Chain A
Amino acid sequence: MAFVTANWNPLGDAFYRKIELYEMGWNLKDGLRDCLVAAAPYGGPIGEFCFITLLRKIVSEYSFWKSGVVKQLGWTVSDDLLCVQEDGTVLVYDLLGGFKRHFSMGNEVSQSQVLETKIFHSPYGTGVAILTGALRFTLATNIDDIKLRRLPEVPGLQGAPSCWAVLTQDRQSKVLVANGSHLFVLDNTACTPVTPPGLSPQASSIVHMCVSFSYKYLALLTDSGHVWMGTSNLKEKLSEVDTKIKAPPKQMAWCRRPKSQQPSAVVMWDGLLLVVGECKETIQYHLDDDSILVPELDGVRIISGTHHELLQEVPGACEEIFKIASMAPGALLLEAHKEYEKESQKADEYLREIKEQSLLSEAVRQCVEAAGHEHEPETQKTLLRAASFGKCFLSNFPPEQFVSMCRDLRVLNAVRDYTVGIPLSHTQFKQMTIQVLIDRLVYRKLYPLAIEVCRYLKTPEYQGVSRVLKYWACYKVCVCVYLFTPLKKKNYILIIFVQPYCMPSCMLVYTVVMYLKNELNRGDFFMMLRNQPVALSLYKQFCKHQEQDTLKDLFNQDDDHEELGNFYVKASYKEQRLEARIAHLQSAVDEYYKAKNEFSAKTTEDEMRLLRFQRKLEEEKGEQLVGFSLHDTMTTLLSVGLHKHAEQLYKDFRVPDKRFWWLRLKALAEKEDWEELEKFSKSKKSPIGYLPFVEVCIKHHNKYEARKYVSKVTLEQKVKAHLAVGDVEGAAEAAIERRNESEIGTVLSRCSATTDHLLVERLNRAKATVAKK
């Protein structure tokens, strides 16, 4: 704890500190000397891992091997890498080095070549500004919606300008150009000369300039070694400091934070880093290595081949608490808690001192806020414990700040971990919002962490977990659909596993199945399907329409004899030749027996028997029979007079008597062979009764024959039989005899009131007597 202030350096009224974020694990031979380096703000990717591979890939594959020399690298707001080539082509890569797309910055650029490029961020997205060989500027404010703008010429510009920068002001991107000591603002329409107020007269040339993170402030470095700081609209001067170094710097950046106490900038030369503020003094840091500066919302990151550090003004709350001999309430509360841990009564004294000034809630607030700005989890914990301790003595202190800070820090510490590598500060996090953080984790394919974060921060489902899962599923599905890599055993399990998340859209399953079918050998493929009932049934459907043989193999694999039997039955109907058809049916019989489905087996055997019989008869008698059902075969045989053969079928196939009688009856009536029919009716007692005889004769319009059978009809059906032959009187007799009310009613409905007058009366009387009983 004593060392919290060890890395603090005073400058004017404020302190500056440099915190080590990571030790770099790059394995670069010459450090960053020969590399183009780009890093995105908000702890964005310089991504220890991906970056280096990407860099190599681009340098080796693209600049030398393919299209042209890469002039500039930069990151977009959505974590894509931009590579601007000499001819103005911009290549876009995703975080993991996959090529996404490319676009051109226009003809003019490709003709006159790129001289210098700057990639900038604005509320409209990521922009690219290019200075061409013809000394003209071309600008695109948003690379996702490219509208190229060519800016006006800069008067008197002979060679490359000494320095330039892109500004975003009044919802417009402008370029600020220095040509010697002259400064111009270029916008869409005009080139306006400007003069920074109070710029040191010794300067003959502006050699470097930088714009603050918020585009509000501008810093200029002159050849006399003066740093001029002011607002970017060049209306106000904030300070001017002499660095006493006249050599041109490598880089310059603003080092500010929201609610900064003073404007300050960082200037970097070979081996030296200088912080300049309002006062004459400066802070000097020695640099061992080639480094680059990355301006952030609340400081500057310094990245070298071996280290990754954050340089920032010490935030107010931290300063209050940790400044040596500070009597701020937060500092006292921290002391009080320390004493309390030591079980010393001094704790009470400190507490009293704060409470007397009634500053306890202020103290708690300070501790919580300071915890947010500290990078070391240990320090964070100490401060939070102190805050929690202080809270105990407060009633009605709103807990939200404390709780949300604890949550935020837990998340920040997780993403700061070197395996994730997002060194986000609390200020940046708040500015950036949780959604963006989750997006970034998703870009990095850190789905589990993203879900954990969402759950932990209780982000609403649709913004959080669901959305992450959606990306994850899309990614997985893309993997399975487009498949960049050869499929390994593990992958397809994953793919099928994805399914519950993507809804069992059958087409998706189909797609996967079809792909796997081509990728795997048949055995493995079938084995895989066995464990996926949905996929299996869909694949069977597919095979049914498209690949019959595969279907057979599938059933074989599962020993599904029943289905195999069905398969052969179906196949048999496709055959043109009878022998082939019978062969298929035989296979079906075998399978049905294996499936212990005796009924199907027997039935199929019957079918074969019938086919053979039909064939034989066809050959002998020339009657077309094959393909008819047993019933139709018998009908045909009877109709052509082959009674014996029909009888044989009747016996062989154990056709029930009833049906055979029906069949003969109908066949004979069809032939109008009334003689044979009468003979038949007398052959033995009809199992179907004699009403059908009556009805069938009537159907063939032979009332005469029909009457012959009426007497044979059973009593129950007599009425019906009489009516069928049109004998109303007979029907009336029968009905009255049977004393059946509904039958009498039926007969009545058939009587006509005029002709059957007497009959109607009789029936009505009978009906009345029946009803009485």
Chain B
Amino acid sequence: MASHLFCGRVNLNILREAARKDLREFLDKCSGSKAIVWDEYLTGPFGLIAQYSLLKEHEVEKMFTLKAGRIPSAAVKNIVFFVRPRLELMDIIAENVASEDKLQPRDVHILFVPRRSLLCEQRLKEKGVLNSFTNIDEYILDLIPYDGDLLSMESESSFRECYLENDQTSLYHAAKGLMNLQALYGTIPQIFGKGECARHVANMMLRMKREFAGSQTQILPVFDTLLLLDRNVDLLTPLATQLTYEGLIDEIFGITNGYVKLPPEKFAQKKQGEGGKELPTEPKKLQLNSAEELYAEIRDKNFNAVGAALSKKAKIISAAFEERHNAKTVGEIKQFVSQLPHMQAARSSLANHTSIAELIKDITTSEDFFDSLTVEQEFMTGVDTDKVSTYIEDCIAQKDPLIKILRLVCMQSVCNNGLKQKVLDYYKKEILQTYGYKHILTLKNLEKVGLLKPQSTMRNNYPTIRKTLKLWMEDANEQNPNDISYVYSGYAPLSVRLTQVLARPGWRSIEEVLKMLPGPHFEERQQVPTGLHKKRQPGENRTTLVFFLGGVTYAEIAALRFLSNMEDSGTEYIIAATKLINGTSWIKSLMDSPEENLP
């Protein structure tokens, strides 16, 4: 059920099991049949921890979405609310509880995720329903195992909260999550970091460690190094269009909580005799993780290399099916039959991915896609970043999607270390006239987080950074990559370069560049109890946990996986992030556009 968590270097299933155990314990606390009322936001993250079957085993008979009014009727003994500690949700819960049938009282419980909140309880008290709850508990869900080498906090707006709203709650949860991780996988002896938030998280961790100095875990450290990276150290990478297979799926269709929803037309079952059957209208929902052999193989490839991989796979599979003709003896036939389910799964997986690849190809071969990619690459290589781009102008004139425009304008600003005031004002005016004045707030937000800015008197240092860190590689090899730049067909993500340099030859070699990037860089060491010092076998790799505060893209993950798999890299990476993002979802989270309310 969670086989994808076993395959990495670190067994992340331990973390999942710990989370499941807590959940079971809570559910058993409310004895008897129960109905769960979900804060809809939580269903996704919970899906990564426990499927419905687990809930069912613990007598969960009904599930509802939290809505104002009455809870739909259900013959259960308990009502359990699974909610985030948000005041507006408390008001809904209060309404739900107040309209419960007084004659047939049911036990009501509330489970706060990830932390209990006095403020919320206070609100429930004000509403006069606090005493109706039999259990008020918290379910600590900070880092959720997402794949064999990937952890996510699934905290949608953490970048916005940290950089726009100065609300560091998510950093607190990140620190807590890391402490929890260390409790299961041992103290991480080395901590590196870059950026304000990274510094903040490291400080909190060190302080928490002091506070729990007593409960030193006697576990051999699994991780050698922790690297904390602020998203605002590398604002450029998420803005660029990802060109790996998984990255493109996310860019085009969006992956949420490990699932993607695809247009159904391409997936219509072609069964004989049912030729005239209607096409399905529901979007096709697929789970994407490394448990699927084929997906694990192609997800991180540059999309241009996916076609070849798929056709190779197709040949292998059909060859395997051909084997049946060679099966002569009963034993051979039996063996063939025993492999059938696996082969059939492989075949359906191949069919799915071929369809997805076709869908993507329709888009990547379009002129629009090509033009916009060309402009992106020009910006990244520093071509004409200081004047108004005709392409962007034309896109605005044709009223292309706003987010596309914002991504490009922000990218130009980042690659030029700010735009000339005239250029910036021109873009802003164009955007406001075309998409509506209400977007003025969004633009202000982008300026506040530094994605858009007027050029200061300071020199544009992006070219220096680009050259020192080799962010642009001509002739990136997409088929058989030899450098991480293949994930963006030329651009090597800055964040991953920093990670790579840290492992070898070390950050000291790039002091100058580090100073140009925002926020402090630092190194901390954590004492590991004597006797738990790892003795590395010759040739054994180091394990580094890279934590992206503010989100990580699939392309960056692919680049880190590439580094892990590189021969003689010497380091394997496990990735953690507040959220998996792409340019679109990221910009969207920073938007602030009031709804029109006029009649």
Name A residues whose Cβ lies closer than 8 Å to a Cβ of B: 460-463, 466-467, 470, 481, 503-508, 510-511, 514, 533-534, 537-538, 540-542, 545-546, 566, 569-570, 573-576, 578, 581, 599-600, 603-604, 606-607, 610, 626-632, 653, 655-656, 658-659, 662-663, 666, 688
Contacts and interface: CB of A to CB of B under 8 A. Distances in A.
Nearest to A720: B367
Contact of B397 (A511, A546, A627, A658): A658
A675 B569 CA distance: 66
A242 B215 CA distance: 58
Interface string B84-109: 01011000000000000000000000
A688 B429 CA distance: 19
Interface stretch (B4-12, B203-211, B518-526): B203-211
Contacts of A666: 398
27 contacts: A466-B210, A503-B204, A505-B115, A505-B172, A506-B172, A507-B116, A507-B118, A510-B119, A514-B122, A537-B165, A538-B167, A540-B165, A566-B441, A570-B441, A574-B597, A575-B597, A576-B599, A578-B598, A599-B425, A603-B432, A603-B437, A607-B437, A629-B434, A629-B435, A655-B433, A658-B393, A658-B394
B211 A631 contact: no
B166 A533 contact: yes
Contacts of A632: 436
Nearest to B200: A504
The 10 A-B residue pairs with the shortest CB-CB distance, nearest first, are A462-B214, A573-B594, A537-B166, A662-B397, A462-B213, A629-B436, A607-B437, A631-B434, A630-B433, A659-B397
Contacts of B441: 566, 569-570
Given A461-B213, A481-B118, 9 more contacts: A466-B210, A503-B204, A504-B168, A546-B87, A629-B432, A629-B436, A631-B433, A659-B434, A666-B398
Contacts of A631: 399, 433-435
Given A507-B115, A538-B167, A631-B399, A659 B172 contact: no
A120 to B, nearest CB: 32
A740 B434 CA distance: 37
Nearest to B167: A541
A464 to B, nearest CB: 10
Nearest to B390: A658
B438 interface: yes
Nearest to B161: A541
Instruction: Identify the interface centre among B396, B425, B430, B433: most chain A CB within 10 Å of its CB.
Output: B433
Interface string B202-245: 00100110111111000000000000000000000000000000
Binding site of A, secondary structure by majority: helix, strand, loop or mixed? helix
Interface in B576-599: 594-599
A507 B169 CA distance: 9
B30 to A, nearest CB: 24
A506 B437 contact: no
Contacts of A537: 165-167
Contacts of A659: 393, 396-397, 430, 434
Nearest to B445: A566
Contacts of B429: 603
B470 interface: no
B444 interface: yes
Instruction: Identify the interface centre among A507, A542, A546: most chain B CB within 10 Å of its CB.
Output: A507
B117 interface: yes
Given A466-B211, A514-B122, A662 B394 contact: yes
B513 interface: no
Interface of B: 85, 87-88, 115-119, 122, 165-169, 172, 204, 207-208, 210-215, 393-394, 396-399, 425, 428-430, 432-438, 440-441, 444, 594-599
Contacts of A462: 212-215
Nearest to A654: B429
Contacts of A538: 167
B440 A604 contact: yes
B85 A610 contact: no
Contacts of B397: 658-659, 662-663, 688
Given A463-B214, A537-B165, A503 B597 contact: no
B598 A576 contact: yes
Contacts of A627: 596, 598
A576 B597 CA distance: 6
Contacts of B434: 629-631, 659
B210 A504 contact: no
B596 A573 contact: yes
B216 to A, nearest CB: 8
Nearest to B426: A656
A511 B119 contact: yes
A773 B435 CA distance: 49
Nearest to B204: A503
A56 to B, nearest CB: 36
A659 B398 CA distance: 8
A754 B212 CA distance: 78
Contacts of B597: 573-576
A701 to B, nearest CB: 18
A460 B396 CA distance: 65
A514 B165 CA distance: 19
A662 B395 CA distance: 10
A40 B170 CA distance: 48
Contacts of A463: 214
A688 B390 CA distance: 10
Contacts of A653: 433
B172 A629 contact: no
B437 A629 contact: yes
A534 B168 contact: yes
A533 B168 CA distance: 12
Nearest to A470: B211
Nearest to B594: A573
Contacts of A506: 167-169, 172
Contacts of A460: 213-214
B210 to A, nearest CB: 6
B118 A569 contact: no
Contacts of A607: 437
A503 B599 CA distance: 48
Contacts of B117: 507, 510
Contacts of B436: 628-629, 632
B39 to A, nearest CB: 15
Contacts of B440: 569, 600, 603-604
A604 B432 CA distance: 10
Given A507-B115, A508-B118, A511-B119, A610 B210 contact: no
A538 B162 CA distance: 11
A658 B394 CA distance: 8
A663 B393 CA distance: 12
Contact of A581 (B88, B207, B435, B598): B598
A541 B165 contact: yes
B596 A511 contact: no
Nearest to B170: A506
B122 A511 contact: yes
A341 to B, nearest CB: 45
A461 to B, nearest CB: 4
Contacts of B168: 504, 506, 534
B213 A466 contact: yes
Contacts of B430: 656, 659
A416 to B, nearest CB: 29
B575 to A, nearest CB: 26
Contacts of B167: 506, 537-538, 541
B200 to A, nearest CB: 9
Contacts of B208: 503
B115 A599 contact: no
B172 A573 contact: no
Contacts of A508: 118
A629 B85 CA distance: 37
Contacts of B213: 460-462, 466
Contacts of A507: 85, 115-119
B594 A570 contact: yes
A466 B213 CA distance: 8
B433 A629 contact: yes
